Chains A and B, each alone.
Chain A
Amino acid sequence: MKRWFGGLLISLLLLSGPVLQAKAVIPGASTPQARESLTLAVLDYRSDSRMQDQYAPLVSYLSDRTGIDIELAVHDQEALNRAIATNQVDLFLTNPSHFLLIRSERSLTGVLATLLRDWQGQSTSSIGGLIFTRADRDDLEQLEDLRGASIATPGIHFMGGYQAPALELKTVGIDVRRSSKVLYLGNHDRVIRAVVNGDTDVGFIRSGVLEDRIAQTPELAGKLKVINPQNLTGYPFQVSTRLYPEWPLVSLPHVDGRQVRRIASALFALEPEHPAARAAGLAGFSPPADYQSVEHLARTLRVAPYDEAPKITWVDVLHQYRVWVITVSVLFVLLVFTSIWLGRKRRQLAREERRQRELVANWPQPMLMLRGTELVDCNRAAIELLRYSGESSLLGKTLAAFSRDTQPDGDISAQKIDGLLRRTQLGDVVNAEWVFVRSDGSDVWVDMTLAPVYEHGFDVPFILCSWYDITRRKEAEDRMRLAVQVFDNAREAIFITDSHGVVIDTNEAYQQITGRERSESVGSLPPMPVDEGSAILVAARKHGVWSGEFRSRSRDGQRLILNLTLSSVFDDKKQLSHFVGVFSDITRLKESEKKLRTMAHYDALTGLPNRVLFAERLHQSMAQARRHGYQLGVIYIDLDEFKPVNDAFGHDAGDELLIEMGRRMRTVLREEDTLARLGGDEFAAIAVNVDGDDALQALLERLLKAVAEPAWVASHSVEISVSVGYTLYPQAEELDADQLLRQADQAMYQAKRQGRNRYCGFSENLL
């Protein structure tokens, strides 16, 4: 609602506007055509009364010559603008700058004539600006001194009073338009007064004004001085600037063409001597000058009507600054490309650096960096090797801090590492084995490499340190050393052969046992059982090991019994590569064994089998008798009257007697028969393959006879006898050896009872 009302009000106002204007125009509507007289307006650049006096004769001259009633109006710039705007002026005379401004606001037919100024007989149609200051201002000598000076000027639209001086200052880099110290005083006389009074430092006036003032008040000449004077031959005035065309006389478009021609002809007809010209200080009028230079001046200074910056299109800029635009564009493009390229390179570098860092950090081999003797960097593997939690435990410390006081070779760790580092700093790459102590106290062997790394800006090189864990190798070496010791020092002979059994290495014991030098042994076969030979290699290959005893001979022909264990050694591919044999000389051992066996089965005194062997043989013989179906006889013998011999002649004599008796009985028996001493004076015999009772009794007869022969013991002849019991096997009932021997024993007792020195067979009725 409210908005609608506002809109209505605006519409009403718009509608009523033209009506109101029309009403305002009608009362003053005196059209130019209706007017009989014309008005010539002259710019009042000095002071009103004088201008009026100076130009009145000219106006009356024109009125007389043209028959047109012409009135003179002297206005300052503002009043003149107003008068022109309200059509109260038909012709006007003003300065070129002001003319340009008016021309831009009104469409004018143009300039009728350009004023010719006269000064003491010299005429000129040129106008310039005068820059002046007080004569006592020593600090203001040239244009450059005017920077920051306060300036008095009649106004911006004054040719000599502003624009021409402003251009000269602009050429030395002083922009008057931007200066805040400019006083606009309306006319030239006030400017001179302001400078003389010291109100401003300098003043701008048009050429000619100063000369006119000095003519009136000559003492002024000594008070002022001109800055940047131009000595121009033939120019009547002092001037500080370049020159421009003088004032134009302009007719406004509404003036009748015929009137304009009449006025123009009157103007050109004006002679310098004419009183009208004299009064106005003119030499007359010349044909219109070219005001192009004034336009250019206003354009350069950017003053009205050229105060708007020209619209410069991109095309204009491109046209004007083609080379610059192209150069800047090319440079910009290059800059962009370079930036992109550099950025890419930087990212690439950062990536590579990161990758290398990662590489070093994750490299499985420990790597460290030292500056001087201190650790400054290390990778994860180094920390893990020493079993620390983080790099802070390592950095800033020396290598000696992670070592025992002395190294295994006896050197003091701190001194040794200093020596190594010094060599590295001199440029060597140093290699050393080193033992570090882990955080848990255990030792770790490393193969340490130290290399110098030269970096720009550092005199002393950094040192790159890498470790290679050789703890296992060291342990293996220890084991190896031990094994060699064992090999060399073992009492057992050890030999190693190739897969064909040819010896490639032997130890010391081997040489001692075999009596062969090592050089002889290598390349030949080791001692092996003669009958089996290389078969044991096959066995060892098949079962992994062969073990056995065998007879051999040493180099000097001694008989040897060797106990050999031969083992196969397989390589990584499970292929047999070597045999390892260990053997010992068991010759002596075997002899002892034999002796012991003899002691267990034979009677030490007589050398006859003892009760144990007899029992064994009886078993064997009984088995043979059953198998072959023959008979055997078991004979039990007991010496009669032995005790008295023993008592009479001593034990030695008794022993001699026993030996002698044993020997005699043995001779009676056949080879295959067995005679054994059962203990004391008791003997027993086994007669195999007995052909019946009679054959056995014949044997026993011979036995009794052999014993009965006198024996020589202890230098005495002794005669003894034996009581003999016997039994046969097999019998009707099956019986064992003990029973059989017991039967013979019983039979012997029977013989004792029957009177000794006789034999008696076993029979059931004996019981």
Chain B
Amino acid sequence: MHRRSFLQLSLRLSLAATMAGSLVGCTQKTPLKTGVHPWIGYETLYLAEEFDWLPESVQLSKGQSAKNSISGLLSGELDAAALTLDEALRVSAGGVPVRVVAVTNVSVGADMVLTRPGITQLSDLVGRSVGVELDGVSGVMLLAMLDQAGLSTDQISIVDLPVSEHLRAWNEGVIDVSVSYKPIASRLEEAGAVRLFDSSQIPDTIFDLLVVRQEVERKHPEAVADLVRGHFRGLRHLVRNRHDAVYRIASRQGVSPDAVREAMATVMLPQLAANRRYLAPGGRVESVAGRLAHLLKNEGLVEVVPDLDNLCSRDYLPRGPV
């Protein structure tokens, strides 16, 4: 299970209906099919669609989780998708090179490591059984944490487990440590888990992105620009009309407005200027991608280190006000 899927569970039916609707509305000119799934950082695209800010050149393909987007990109069914950086690297390593065209959000505390009381520092993790979803972003979180602590995966006992099952495993005593995120993390805390580490301690590492298949990017640069512009218009609404956006996101995700406000507090939504900085050649995204790619390779999570030259492109960021 990918981490972004949890918000989704209750909405499968309605989403399936929406997706069918969007497929029917497919126009004669093949639009840029963009995979997206519910996550606070990707809400900008839903908002853009709701307020009709996405032109016909862009079509959202609403999946349940990042898995749908990854397989869609790999099969060529999707042209673009909203993914985390590690997911993007997995797609590239899978033989479909992608280009990062926008950073939708940066995790600042959304991802965390919870432990049983008594474990107070990172070095205490040695020998503990750690519940982690290696295939998802929590795997990256773990790796980043171990990297910071100077530990290797050999020094801990990894229990590869979907995040949604961490609470049960915790209660059964299978795991001492959980690498997870809200709202599972909140429930673990209720069950007595203590926060040892969170993504605010590894700033600018866990990125959520808009990526485009390089092959498609070359053919339809205008559509890519339309997608990015749509994201920034949604972002403007999210920031300026927060009173409105909160209720709309809550409605779509089926959670309370307060939960949305809480979720928004754990992410940073970079504006245009920040995006330019992140996506600059040799910028943060590129350097993190390089380190992450080697980490993934070393841990055997990917088979090859993908070609990371020109991973990011700032060409599609709107030049004027959106």
Chain B minimum-CB-distance residue to A234: B257
Q: Does chain B have a CB within 8 A of A636?
A: no
Could you give, for residues 268-298 of chain B, a 1 whenever the CB lies within 8 Å of some chain A CB and a 0 otherwise? 0000000000000000000000000000000
Residues of A within 8 A of B255 (CB): 233
CB distance from A172 to the nearest CB of B (A): 10
A234 touches B256 (CB 8 A): yes
A243 touches B257 (CB 8 A): no
Chain A minimum-CB-distance residue to B255: A233
Q: Does chain A have a CB within 8 A of B12?
A: no
B241 touches A234 (CB 8 A): no
**Chain B interface residue count: which class?**
10 to 19
Majority secondary structure, B binding face: helix
Could you give, for residues 218-243 of chain A, a 1 whenever the CB lies within 8 Å of some chain B CB and a 0 otherwise? 00000000000011111100000011
Q: Does chain B have a CB within 8 A of A290?
A: yes
A234 touches B247 (CB 8 A): yes
A126 touches B243 (CB 8 A): yes
Residues of B within 8 A of A232 (CB): 247-248, 250-251
Chain B minimum-CB-distance residue to A239: B247
Of B246, B251, B320, which contacts A231 at CB under 8 A?
Answer: B251
A243 touches B244 (CB 8 A): yes
A290 touches B242 (CB 8 A): yes
B257 touches A233 (CB 8 A): yes
Q: Does chain A have a CB within 8 A of B29?
A: no
Could you give, for residues 119-130 of chain B, a 1 whenever the CB lies within 8 Å of some chain A CB and a 0 otherwise? 000000000000
Residues of B within 8 A of A393 (CB): none
B241 touches A243 (CB 8 A): yes
Q: In the assembly, what is the distance between CA of A124 and CA of B250, in Å? A: 14
Residues of B within 8 A of A293 (CB): 240-244
Q: In the assembly, what is the distance between CA of A245 and CA of B52, in Å? A: 23
Of B51, B242, B244, B256, which contacts A233 at CB under 8 A?
Answer: B256
**Which B residues between 244 and 265 are near A, CB-CB below 8 angstroms?**
244, 246-248, 250-251, 254-258
Residues of A within 8 A of B250 (CB): 232-234
**Which B residues between 227 and 250 are near A, CB-CB below 8 angstroms?**
240-244, 246-248, 250
Q: Does chain B have a CB within 8 A of A125?
A: yes
Of B51, B241, B243, which contacts A125 at CB under 8 A?
Answer: B243
Q: In the assembly, what is the distance between CA of A290 and CA of B238, in Å? A: 12
Q: Does chain B have a CB within 8 A of A289?
A: yes
Q: Does chain B have a CB within 8 A of A49?
A: no
Q: In the assembly, what is the distance between CA of A293 and CA of B238, in Å? A: 10
CB distance from B256 to the nearest CB of A (A): 5
**Do A292 and B244 contact each other (CB < 8 Å), given the known contacts A231-B251, A233-B250, A234-B257?**
no
Residues of A within 8 A of B246 (CB): 126
Residues of B within 8 A of A126 (CB): 243-244, 246-247
Residues of B within 8 A of A231 (CB): 251
Q: In the assembly, what is the distance between CA of A230 and CA of B244, in Å? A: 11
CB distance from A512 to the nearest CB of B (A): 107
Residues of A within 8 A of B251 (CB): 231-234
**Do A244 and B241 contact each other (CB < 8 Å), given the known contacts A232-B247, A232-B251?**
yes
Residues of A within 8 A of B258 (CB): 234
CB distance from B272 to the nearest CB of A (A): 15
Could you give, for residues 13-48 of chain B, a 1 whenever the CB lies within 8 Å of some chain A CB and a 0 otherwise? 000000000000000000000000000000000000
Of B241, B254, B257, which contacts A242 at CB under 8 A?
Answer: B241
Residues of B within 8 A of A235 (CB): 247, 257
Q: Does chain B have a CB within 8 A of A11?
A: no
Could you give, for residues 208-235 of chain B, a 1 whenever the CB lies within 8 Å of some chain A CB and a 0 otherwise? 0000000000000000000000000000
B243 touches A319 (CB 8 A): no
**Which A residues between 169 and 228 are near B, CB-CB below 8 angstroms?**
171
Q: In the assembly, what is the distance between CA of A309 and CA of B248, in Å? A: 31
Chain B minimum-CB-distance residue to A128: B244
Q: Which of B241, B251, B254, B320 neighbours the largest number of chain A CB atoms within 10 Å of its CB?
A: B241
CB distance from B32 to the nearest CB of A (A): 21
B242 touches A244 (CB 8 A): no
CB distance from B97 to the nearest CB of A (A): 30
B244 touches A244 (CB 8 A): yes
Q: Does chain B have a CB within 8 A of A296?
A: yes
A residues bordering B, Cβ < 8 Å? Answer: 124-128, 171, 230-235, 242-245, 289-290, 292-293, 296, 319-320
Known: A128-B244, A230-B248. 9 other contacts (CB 8 A): A124-B257, A232-B250, A234-B247, A234-B251, A234-B258, A242-B248, A292-B240, A319-B320, A320-B320
B residues bordering A, Cβ < 8 Å? Answer: 51-52, 240-244, 246-248, 250-251, 254-258, 320
Ranked 5 nearest A-B pairs via Cβ: A232-B247, A243-B244, A242-B244, A126-B243, A234-B257
